[in-house]
Amino acid sequence: MECQHVSYQYSHQTHGLHDLTGTFPTGQVTTIIGPNGAGKSTLLNLLAQRLPVQAGQILLDQQPIAQLKPKALAQQVAMVTQRHQLYDELTVREVVATGRLPYHGLLQAVPDAEVTPYLAANGLTELATTLMQDLSGGQQQRVWLAAALAQAPSVLLLDEPTTYLDVHFQQVLMTQLRQLAAQGMTVIQVLHDINQAFRASDWLWLLQDGKLVASGTPAQLRDAQLLAQVFATPIEIVDVPQLGPYIVQIPQ
Ligand SMILES: Nc1ncnc2c1ncn2[C@@H]1O[C@H](COP(=O)(O)OP(=O)(O)OP(=O)(O)O)[C@@H](O)[C@H]1O
C-alpha cells in the first residue's frame, strides 16, 4: 500500500494531512507514531476509505483504492474498530460474523464454518454466545480483531490496539501481528508507546503536524535528536542488557 501526495483537511480547519508520500511495505508491520494531533488516526481513516482522499491518491497493488467498490474494498482492507454501543447486544459470534458480510449477500446467513475458525484462533470459542456488553475491554478488543481477520483482508489497520490490553496480551497481540505479516498480510497500526513501536515494527512512519517527517526501519529512525524534536521532549537512547536500545524520556 502506498500514499502519493495525500492531503486531507477537515472542513474549515487548517488541521489535517499535508502531501504525504510513502509506502507501507507488503507483508510487514508498519507503525505510525507521532505526538497527539499529528494526524495518525486521520491517516488510518484515509487508508480505510472512511474519509475520502481530497488530494493525491492511495494505491493498493498499484490500484487507487478510491476506485474500489465498497464490497471489494472490504475484502482487501479491514480496520479493527473501536468499541461501539451499537454492538452491545450482539453476541461475540454475531460480531465476528459481521466480518464475513463482504463475502455474502446482505440477507444471507453467514455459515458457522466461516466463523468458528476465527473464534478459535482468537481464544473466543468459550465466549461465542456472550453478549458484547458483558465482556471486559480486552476481551472486546479480541472480538474486534477476530471480526477484522474474518474479512480475510490483505491490509489490516489498527488504531491504538493495545489500549485495553494488559502487558501480557499486548505482547500476545504484537506476536500475532508479526505472524500475520509473515503470512503476507500488510499490517498498519498506530501506537503511542514508542518503545513498543520500535520493537514490534518492521517499518515506521513518523508524523508531526500532519506531515511525514521520516519513514524507515526502526534502526534508521532510532535517532534521539529527531525524536526529541518531534515529541518536544528531551530523549536519550540507552542500551538495556538483554533488551537492546531503549528510548527514554529525560525529566525536565
Ligand atoms: N472530525 C474532526 N473535525 C475537525 N478536526 C479534526 C477531526 N478529527 C481530528 N481533527 C483534527 O485533526 C488533527 C489530527 O487529528 P488525529 O486524530 O488524526 O491525530 P492523532 O495523531 O491521531 O492524535 P492522537 O494521538 O491525539 O490520537 C488534530 O488537530 C485534530 O484536532
Identify the CA nearest to 244 among candidates 217, 218, 214, 226: 218
136/205 Cα distance (integer angstroms): 31
Could you give the CA distance from residue 36 to residue 82 in angstroms, rounded to a whole number? 18
For atom 25 of ligand 1, which residue has the closest CA? Answer: 36
Minimal-distance CA residue to ligand 1 atom 18:
39
Distance 46 CA to ligand 1 centre (A): 12
Are 190 and 42 in contact, with CB atoms under 8 Å apart?
A: no
CA-34 nearest atom, ligand 1: 21
C-alpha 26 to ligand 1 mean position (Å): 27
Q: Whose CA is nearest to atom 16 of ligand 1?
A: 39
Residue spans per domain, the chain = 2-87+152-221, 225-252
| 34 CA distance to ligand 1 middle (Å) | 12
CATH topology of domain 2-87+152-221: Rossmann fold (3.40.50)
**38: CA distance to ligand 1 center in Å?**
7
pLDDT tens sequence across 3-37: 999 999 998 777 799 999 999 999 999 999 999 99
Cα gap 230→22, rounded to integer Å = 18
Per-residue pLDDT of 185-198, as tens digits, reads: 999 999 999 999 99
Checking if the pLDDT of 243 tops 80, the result is: yes
Q: How many CB atoms lie within 10 A of CB 57?
A: 15
Q: Check: CB of residue 22 under 8 Å from CB of residue 39.
A: no
Q: Are 22 and 183 in contact (CB under 8 A)?
A: no
Task: Say whether the ipTM exceeds 0.90.
Answer: yes
Confidence label for 83 from pLDDT (cuts 50, 70 and 90): low
The Å distance, Cα 45 to ligand 1 centre, comes to 11
Residues with CB under 6 A from ligand 1: 10, 13, 15-16, 34, 36-42
Per DSSP, which regions of the chain are E strands?
A: 2-9, 16-23, 29-33, 55-60, 63-64, 77-80, 155-159, 186-190, 203-208, 211-216, 235-240, 244-249
* Residue ranges in 85-189 assigned as alpha helix (H): 92-98, 112-121, 137-150, 167-182
The HSE-up count of residue 103 (CA atoms within 13 Å, CB side) is 14
Atom of ligand 1 nearest to the CA of 35: 25
What global pTM score does this model have? 0.95
What percentage of the chain exceeds 90 in pLDDT?
Answer: 86
Ligand 1 pocket: which of 7, 8, 15 to mutate (most atoms within 8 A of CB): 15
Residues 116-125, mean pLDDT to the nearest whole number? 95
Rounded distance from Cα 113 to ligand 1 centre (Å): 40
> Which residue has the CA at smallest separation from atom 14 of ligand 1?
39
